[in-house]
Amino acid sequence: MLAPIRCECGICAEWTMIELQGEIDVQGAFKNEMQNLRIGILCQTPTEKPILRIGYHELEGSRVVLKKALAVLRKIKLPPTAGQQIEGGSTRFDVVGVIRQKYLFKTRPRPLISKPEPKLKKIKAG
Amino acid sequence: MKLRPGEEVEVAYGPAFGTDDLHLVELEENILQEMLRNGVHIKGEPEEEAVLCTSSKTYAVKFVGSSNTMFIMPEESQKESRGSRGSWTGAQALVTFAAPGYLELVETAPKLDTLKTLLSRNRYDQNSEAEELEQEKIEAGAIDEDDGPQSPPESAQELFSFEDLLERVQASEQELREALRVLNAAEVNGKWRLVDEKYMRMLLDMILCTAVEHDWPLSALPEEPLVSAMHSDGYSKHMVRHCLRTCARLSGEGQMGEKEKTDAAADVTEEPSDMDVDEERRGGGMPGGSGRGSSKPEKVWALHSETVCLHRARQLLAATGSKWRLEDFMEAWAQDLPVGMKPDRSLLRGEALEEKVGGEVWLRPFSAALLPAKPAERFDVLFQQKPRWHWEDLEPYLKGLKTPGQSIEALLLKFTRKSQPTSDQPAVYSRR
């Protein structure tokens, strides 16, 4: 079985990655409607250190160029055509983006006391 | 995305978060470029581990999981939030998916076992030749020249075109071509076939006979006359040509004269065999003579003397199957060779082992071609044959073991014990 990987445009748009240690736990009530939910605010400080604020917490990170690029592939299941005997049809991958750098946050979160926000850790953004 | 100092964006789950089936693959830049420009392929049957093939190489695909959270977002996130309910009105970066890890590529050897299995179901031998000639007669009887090749008899069901093989075998295009060349496979009517060894030897014998009969020098065999002479004796034109490609090189006014590499690979890739088919169909019943054929410069082939020498040596070794005194063998060999060819002892490497018995050297038939492909099995057979090996004896029997990520040195360390009595004596390899 052969699944082609290809790119429609030939030069793919650059995508971005934000990497965090551990995971973000979405409150139960929002688990099923995460679309459009705010994660946090990413900001570039004048000292070159990017900062990610999640609720009351702040993470300090860095912008890292990846040693090897990551390609973002979209898997597409093609419905079986009439003449095809292969069960379930064939598969195709489209390259939709290329990631060459990431914002990496590997420190523990630091609580923000000076700037308390009125809302809870997870708030629903527009 | 690169933020300027002081710039802020809201990071949020996108409206389509988690709905797409997205995957990350880590790539070297050259593979990435090939993927973007020409595309690459993931290959594998459900029971196989998937590999990724570029045009020239094969890579195993491994999933590397991560306990980190990796939020992936496209560049063109919305600049302004719609900000109906949220307090944020600035730029937004929308996360499309959270990757649980990524796929990593590790260069690997092409999985050629499948190729051998597929092709060995239906080797080309004397029966195939008989069938082919039968088919030719039927086609010659048919009036319409433009008829495509009619579906040949039963055996055709299990035959594969290059595209069929490329789809089924976990190898890149270049590796597949190389493998077909190494296996001395032939393309007959668009289908690739392994050629039965015995049949091939018989064919080479017949070429040698035919050359003598027509007084053609072995360094200048004219292709068309040879092919048609042998065809009228009942030999397949495809196979005579194939035999020339594998055992000879183009010389004289061959179109590829200036090329260094006129080996079988070049011939196979650069001359699609439909040309042969085409010519043959035009040629029909009249050997050697179609208008198109004669207008082209005559192709002239020079038989590789090593191939002929080796062919004769193998025949001799196979004939008795027992030991030869080296001197006797060299003598018998020289007698069997066509005029002008000299036996070369170094050709016997990988065909027979030299052993010193008393003051004499003896040859023991031991063919490298018959050894198992798996390293452990191969070394087992080697040490059964002989407990202690010198490097120069061992080397020809290790051919084909080297794969990406597996060097011969590493294999020797794993499967042998190397000892060297003193530094000026050659090292000896024994079983570990």
C-alpha closest to that of B345 among B278, B398, B392: B392
The size of chain A, in residues, is: 126
State which amino acid sits at residue B382: L
Contacts of residue B40 in chain A, CB cutoff 8 Å? Answer: 4-6
Residues B377 and B349 in one domain: no
Residues B141 and B19 in one domain: no
The contacts found for A78-87 with CB under 8 angstroms, 24 or more apart, are A86/A1
Asked, for residue B316, whether it belongs to a domain, the answer is no
pLDDT at position B155 over 60: no
Cα B230 from Cα B209, distance rounded (Å): 10
Q: Which among B4, B52, B102 is the nearest to A70, CB-wise?
A: B102
Please tell me which residue of chain A has the smallest CA distance to B73: A16
Express each pLDDT in B161-194 by its tens digit: 999 999 999 999 999 999 999 888 999 888 999 9
The size of chain B, in residues, is: 432
Q: Are strands B352-357 and B300-303 parallel, antiparallel or unpaired?
A: unpaired
Asked, for residue B151, whether it belongs to a domain, the answer is no
- Residue B396 sits in a domain whose CATH number is 1.10.10
Higher pLDDT, A42 or B77: A42
Residues B63 and B52 in one domain: yes
Residues B129 and B275 in one domain: yes
Express each pLDDT in B206-221 by its tens digit: 999 999 899 998 888 9
Please tell me which residue of chain B has the smallest CA distance to A38: B12
Q: Which among A15, A76, A126 is the nearest to B84, CB-wise?
A: A126
Instruction: Mutate one of B9, B19, B28, B35 to test the A interface: name it (highest A CB count within 10 A).
Output: B35
Residues B98 and B34 in one domain: yes
Give contacts of B 47-86 with A, CB under 8 A: 52, 67-76, 81-86
Asked, for residue B330, whether it belongs to a domain, the answer is yes
Domain boundaries, chain A: 5-111
Q: Which among A74, A95, A97 is the nearest to B21, CB-wise?
A: A74
Asked, for residue B341, whether it belongs to a domain, the answer is yes
Radius of gyration of chain A (CA): 20
Give contacts of B 86-145 with A, CB under 8 A: 86-88, 93, 95, 99, 102
pLDDT value, residue A87:
53
Supply the range of the domain harboring residue B224: 113-145+157-303
pLDDT at position B260 over 70: no
Q: Is A88 left (phi over 0), alpha (psi -120 to 50) or beta?
A: left
Cα B151 from Cα B102, distance rounded (Å): 47
pLDDT value, residue A115:
56
Q: Do B69 and A20 touch (CB under 8 A)?
A: yes
Provide the whole-model pTM: 0.73
Please tell me which residue of chain A has the smallest CA distance to B85: A126
Contacts of residue B55 in chain A, CB cutoff 8 Å? Answer: none
Q: Are strands B8-13 and B91-95 parallel, antiparallel or unpaired?
A: parallel
- Write the ipTM: 0.84
Please tell me which residue of chain B has the smallest CA distance to A125: B86
Residues B184 and B282 in one domain: yes
Query: Domain A5-111, what fold?
Result: Immunoglobulin-like (2.60.40)
Residues B364 and B379 in one domain: no
pLDDT value, residue B156:
52
Express each pLDDT in B381-417 by its tens digit: 999 999 999 998 999 999 878 777 778 889 999 999 9
Residues B55 and B130 in one domain: no
Residues B85 and B187 in one domain: no
What is the Cβ-side half-sphere exposure of residue B322, based on CA atoms within 13 angstroms?
Answer: 2
Contacts of residue A123 in chain B, CB cutoff 8 Å? Answer: 86
Mean pLDDT of chain B: 81
Give contacts of B 336-365 with A, CB under 8 A: none
State the smallest CA–CA distance between residue A102 and chain B in angstroms. 9
Express each pLDDT in B278-294 by its tens digit: 444 443 444 444 444 44
Give contacts of B 160-219 with A, CB under 8 A: 166-167
pLDDT at position B261 over 80: no
Asked if B35 has any chain A CB less than 8 Å from its own CB, the reply is: yes
Instruction: Mutate one of A14, A68, A91, A95 to test the B interface: name it (highest B CB count within 10 A).
Output: A68
Contacts of residue B25 in chain A, CB cutoff 8 Å? Answer: 70-71, 73
Residues B239 and B204 in one domain: yes
Q: Where a domain ends, among B81, B108, B135?
A: B108
Q: Do B35 and A71 touch (CB under 8 A)?
A: yes
Residues B299 and B421 in one domain: no
Q: Are strands A62-77 and B91-95 parallel, antiparallel or unpaired?
A: unpaired
Q: Do A36 and B14 touch (CB under 8 A)?
A: yes
The structural domain count of chain B equals 4
Asked, for residue B356, whether it belongs to a domain, the answer is yes
Express each pLDDT in B345-355 by its tens digit: 899 999 999 88
Contacts of residue B6 in chain A, CB cutoff 8 Å? Answer: 43-46
Token pair listed for A110? 């630091």
**SS3 assignment for chain B:** CCCCCCCEEEEEECCCCCCCCEEEEEECHHHHHHHHHCCEEEECCCCCCCEEECCCCEEEEEEEEEEEEEEEECCCCCCCCCCCCCCCCCEEEEECEEEEEEEEEEEECCECHHHHHHHHCCCECHHHHHHHHHHHHHHHHCCCCCCCCCCCCHHHHHCECHHHHHHHCECCHHHHHHHHHHCCCEEECCEEECECHHHHHHHHHHHHHHHHHHCCCCCCEEHHHHHHHHHHCCCCHHHHHHHHHHHEEEECCCCCCCCCCCCHHHHHHHCCHHHHHHHHHHHCCCCCCCHHHHHCCCCEEEECHHHHHHHHHHHHHHHHCCCEEHHHHHHHHHHHCCCCCCCCHHHHCCCEEEEEECCEEEEEECCHHHCCCCHHHHHHHHHHHCCEEEHHHHHHHHCCCCECCECHHHHHHHHEEEECCCCCCCCEEEEC
